[in-house]
Chain A
Amino acid sequence: MGLVFRGAAEAGLGAASAADRPGPPDAVPNPTPTPPAEGADPGSSRGPGMVLKAFFPTCCASADSGLLVGRWVPEQSSAVVLAVVHFPFIPVQVKELLAQVQQASQVGVTVLGTWCHRRQELEESLGHFLEGLGAIFSHKPWFQLCRERGSKSWSCKATHWRGPASPAASGEDQVMLIFYDQRKVLLSQLHPPMALPDRQAGDTTASAGGLAAVFDTVARSEALFQSDRFNEGPVRLSHWQSEGMEASILVELAKWAAGPVCLFLACLLSLISAASSCRVFKLWPLSFIWSKLSTCEQLRHRLEQLTLIFSTRKAKNPAQLMRKANMLVSVLLDVALGLTLLSWLHRKDLIGQLADALIPVADHVAEELQHLLQWLMGAPAGLKMNRALDQVLGRFFLYHIHLWISYIHLMSPFIERILWHVGLSACLGLTVALSILSDIIALLTFHIYCFYVYGARLYCLKIHGLSSLWRLFRGKKWNVLRQRVDSCSYDLDQLFIGTLLFTILVFLLPTTALYYLVFTLLRLLVVAVQGLIHLLVDLINSLPLYSLGLRLCRPYRLAAGVKFRVLEHETGRPLRLLMQINPLPYSRVVHTYRLPTCGCHPKHSWGSLCRKLFFGELIYPWRQRGNKQD
């Protein structure tokens, strides 16, 4: 098959030069597409009026005449045109190139038909020549697209060869032209619609076949787009990159430098994580403290993220790449905000002012607590308390406050130094600074936490005692074996003592309940403040900023689907549509690309929270990683 078509090209098309390609002077009757109902050959395997779809790249609409190269998807009856091979060419070389591309990309790239971009009507010989090409690159169906230069009238027909025996009995089908922007479709990533709650996510991908096949074909055919028109290869192609591959020096330099930098940082990070997981830190007091401080959680989280970003393994799929990019941008933003905070603190010398104000504030809080206790020890809100119990509890808590104030005054010379060093940690990130703030609040209100625990335990004991004695009052008992309430006959002494104790507990209940209520409210206030700070930290941690930026600046990269627009239509001409990319809405971007956070969210519902409060069980507002049980 060593035919060279240069001779025929000179005869019919003229001009073998690459630059100038004048249109053929003669005319060929342009066969209009046959109407759908009668177009089918009764013996053909296709049904009547079958509409074939041809996806045509917009960059090839002004290309010179040649062969259409792409992939035929029989299930969708659609042809995806990837490039145009220009005259002159040698069929053997074209087939070799296609075989190479097919092997490199696993996409069934073949010659689909001919493309003709002419000045006026084609001559008869060219028409036969184009049909003769169909015999060499046999493909069913064989497309013949035509466009008049300078006008918007297109024509296309698709024929089925019945073989040389009956060439006249070839059936024709109607073709619908769908234009697509090749570069955008190549770069975009299709997101299947969200699965319904009761279905698996994997089922929806099976039904999203049609257009996903087009995207897939274009994305995997990168090997075809490597050669541009400045290449000295045997075959000349026209596609979106045929004007030259686009690249940026900065991006290339960054890619080249990324290797060693990643390696260096990965070693550094592995050293740090090895140091932090050494045995010294696992001893009991230290491990307990580390698990309580949210700063350590945050630092550990950031260390994990940095290890993932700078790991030397390449990302396996686009989702992992997005995740890495999101983490990197999140870390960078965090550090930038932290440095801004640091510069603001140092400019106004706020650290000194904060240190000076801290002790008086702590004193003030303690004084307010003392006033509160004095109020409780009197007649709070007009209620009459049990005097003896009141005095005992009040004095007990007052002594604690006194101890706490002494500790604070002991620490006062060192506060400024500590705060200055803590302020330096803001250069690790705003999230770290906020976590430290949350921990400082927790440490400063430690006495409130202690009071809450004392009050809650006392109240809890009282409630349990009351419920058990109430059962005795009614003649029932809790059966531990059967986990239920059973009736029981008590002796008279048991009943007598039980009733006495019950009465005592009932009359002491208001006092204990009031102390419990006051300290629980204080504790909940502190927890609410800490919760807000944690919410802010979680927001900074989990927001996918890179994906949002991509959606803002390059909306075609994240595609929810496609949309079609019907272009100018004349009767008798084929239907032309423009396929554009429908970008993903912002809410779905955030939902799909959210980064995982520490996971320290309260898992209670409001009902269980109220139940715990009523029975005096201790509430831990957030679980620490893994090991805490309520």
Chain B
Amino acid sequence: MATYLEFIQQNEERDGVRFSWNVWPSSRLEATRMVVPLACLLTPLKERPDLPPVQYEPVLCSRPTCKAVLNPLCQVDYRAKLWACNFCFQRNQFPPAYAGISEVNQPAELMPQFSTIEYIVQRGPQTPLIFLYVVDTCLEEEDLQALKESLQMSLSLLPSDALVGLITFGRMIQVHELSCEGISKSYVFRGTKDLTAKQIQDMLGLSRPAVPIQQGRPLQTPEQPAISSRFLQPVHKVDMNLTDLLGELQRDPWPVTQGKRPLRSTGVALSIAVGLLEGTFPNTGARIMLFTGGPPTQGPGMVVGDELKTPIRSWHDIEKDNARFMKKATKHYETLANRAAANGHCIDIYACALDQTGLLEMKCCANLTGGHMVMGDSFNTSLFKQTFQRVFNKGFNGEFRMAFGACLDVKTSRELKIAGAIGPCISLNAKGPCVSESELGIGGTSQWKICSLDPSTTLAIYFEVVNQHNAPIPQGGRGAVQFVTQYQHSSTQKRIRVTTIARNWADAQSQLQHIEAAFDQEAAAVLMARLGVYRAESEEGPDVLRWLDRQLIRLCQKFGQYSKDDPNSFRLSESFSLYPQFMFHLRRSPFLQVFNNSPDESSYYRHHFARQDLTQSLIMIQPILYAYSFHGPPEPVLLDSSSILPDRILLMDTFFQIVIYLGETIAQWQKAGYQEMPEYENFKHLLQAPLDDAQEILQTRFPMPRYIHTEHGGSQARFLLSKVNPSQTHNNLYAWGQESGAPILTDDVSLQVFMDHLKKLAVSSAA
């Protein structure tokens, strides 16, 4: 099976694609019986340092409904200079520029190693990147100071021609004009009044007889800058001004009486930001960066009233239908998110507060537009500061790791249809022959808009096999999918990345073992998890869990080897062996369990889960645990309570948290100060090793995880204890004996119990 693992790995490295099944069941019926849908995780902009973009336009299939891009899978008639589209079988003439091609002189896009290729195209005006800061001023002095410094710092990280704008808000909203000399000028809006885009533009003086921006015409006509330039200015021009302006920012001056929350008009502020960009730079890559230190407390989009005695809604309130502002607020932010997305603008939310800030209501702003969501305790923490800095990280070639306004177009061969996608995208409602009627995730379209993406942004795309059971295995024996991603590169170039993949068809009845062997259980786990999380957003938690369980049982029934009604006989092949364990941890994960999480936290976790790539997603589902001890080199250990031993240091990475946990003995040694003694230098090294490893993870992770350093018995140890499989609990401790591990005080079932039940149900003939 090593071959399939290699195959999967190669494919992922080359194309950024991982399919749940790498050999496809050849009929609709068979496909449904496979339980796990045919789907893939696509990382559209996967970093490919070895792939230089080509500087010409892609060649498209001439059939208007197809327009697939010429790719290595196409049949080419070099003499006639014709090529056949592998999706619709249309025969196409090569364009004149291709007159010189032959078997030995092939353009890159025909070479098999270029199944993924990137084109740089000259299309439309090039507009600089746009960053619009939307800053909450209802912060504590310290927090505001830290935020101001971060913002000032960020100016130096922006490309110098990028346009930057500033909106501050508290009880009122101020849109700062950046162009003026002398007196600083801002437009002020009431925080309680919902304004239409038109009103906002009128009030900002942006609406003037619309001069349509013609394609290809340079944008910087003498008149053009005047409109928008008042609020959005190139960084190099207003650097100093803006630094001063940020420096002079004061806390919201309106008095807040005892027992009240400050009046915070996040809803209107965002609405104005969206309206401003909508009016000035529609269909141009832009980032609205919202920095907020608390929940919106007035106006449209308010999440909680200003009385401190009424706490912000909890899951309990939501279940009891007791969250009076939630629906209205969610609707407000959804409308904004959709408007922003329609214009290709993304919204980042940086929420730093000890209490909730309304991420639940605002989540769609980041989710639908591909924006970042960052949650922290304070702006004055390294978690926020470094995360924010990392937004402006640069990739291997010195370019920003951000791209804008992407449009993902998926084309499939006839036997396959597209059921939907789950990820930071919105539907473009492109109906076509390859769109399935059944929907999984955001369906009903073959095109999605991703307003902002980075090299790790990953979408789950679900397909449906439509080939009828009695129809023959499709011609050529391979099914193909093409992903065409058009986007605005951070260098403001327009680029198109095309990935074309093909997989073999197999008859599920005769060749089930092939299909089984080509199962990618990691991809499948993530794909199923995404479906589950997607469902959890709209359905009751227990329903989702039941659905997941049923799917798991069905999968085990289908692919397990067992004798009926004999749980002990149950076996799973190696390619499925880890899958139930993933599901066990997924069930316990904060993505599906709301217990102990605030609605904001759930939204935050789910947000990240729906956009990270496979590796990170797996870490989120099943955190990684490393053990450091004198008994050998650092090793990964089971995420199990039995791994918690007194003479071990554990390092757990849950994606959101990095926990370093010192076992009981180690902690005592440390307290005794052995690490300071020269003769125990090895102990010092042992203590240092997990720190170094953690640092390495911290370096690359976005957003910055919460870094927790704790020890046996420490209150923070709960982060570890809540994650490990509770194989030893207070209930069974004595049965297990005393030799190892730490009991977890929980009534949760352990993996062992879970597996026992699974086996029982899988083999049960009643099921």
A and B: interacting chains:
no
Footprint of A on B, CB under 8 Å? none
